[in-house]
Structure 1
Amino acid sequence: MTKHTLGTYPHMLGFEQLERLLERTAKTGNEGYPPFNIEQTSDFSYRITLAVAGFGEEDLSITVEDRQLVIRGRQGDDSEGRVFLHRGIAARQFQRSFVLADGVEVGEAAMENGLLHVDLTRAKPETVVQTIQIKKG
């Protein structure tokens, strides 16, 4: 069976970067932790919300690396000297990556009741009409 790529369709010119982006997105390796929501808050804005109970602001980092929003969490182990009869809340680290389209910018981030909110905005696309002159040969 032949694998079709965007380059195999003759009417789709210049989409190689999109194809690489899709491949990179498939390789981000996000696990199921922490759970998150993505909501559209207006026609040109979004909000990513991660459930980060037990993490403080100092335990989290948010960066944009090569058009990827990367959110990392790392908690210190404070269990020294404590005896747990059951430990269901583990101090664990995580990394969540979200690929950003061109024109999407990261805005504010805020913590509220164990939830980390990251706001994104997308530039409003402009309609461009271009007339091409035909030279006489």
Structure 2
Amino acid sequence: MSVALAGFTPDEVALTVEHNVLTLEGRKAEKEEKTFLHRGISTRSFKRQFTLADHVEVKGARFENGLLIIELQREVPEAMKPRRIAISGAGPGNVSQIEAKAA
């Protein structure tokens, strides 16, 4: 998963996970007032939340060229994985036929 965060530094971004909710917050440090004719990149604070599917874990995150890249991995526990059940029964040589009488 990747999120574009142009204009932010890694120190201004917080990433947390709690109860399958991934929260991404960005807070721009207050700087001295300057007058801009045009500001192309928004610098206001934000908070975004993403609900993760069951058994999805955040393995790591890295910040590259204005992109926050979050590594997600789905790990299903062994107890929840499908398993093959052996079916036992009579083989072809052990089949007995019931005699039927015509009426």
Same topology, TM > 0.5: yes
1:73 to 23, 26, 38: 26
Partner of 1:64: 17
Cα-Cα RMSD: 2.1
Determine which structure has greater relative contact order: mean sequence separation of CA pairs < 8 Å that are 6+ residues apart, divided by chain length.
2
Does the 8 Å contact 1:49/1:117 carry over to 2? yes
Query: Which of structures 1 and 2 has the bigger CA Rg?
Result: 2
Say how many residue pairs are matched: 83
Contact 1:104/1:123, CA 8 A, preserved across alignment:
yes
Distance apart, 1:126 and its partner CA: 1.3
Residue 56 (structure 2) aligns with: 104
2:5 corresponding residue in structure 1: 52
Specify the code of the residue in structure 2 equivalent to 1:51: A
- 2:81 equivalent among 100, 103, 126: 126
What is aligned with 1:95?
47
Cα distance in 2 for residues equivalent to 1:99 and 1:129 = 32
In the TM superposition, structure 1's runs of 4+ consecutive aligned residues that sit over 4 Å from their partners are none
**Aligned partners of 1:61 and 1:73 also within 8 Å:** yes
Show structure 2 runs of 5+ residues with no match.
86-103
Q: Which consecutive residues of structure 1, in runs of 5 or more, have no partner in the other structure?
A: 1-47, 131-137
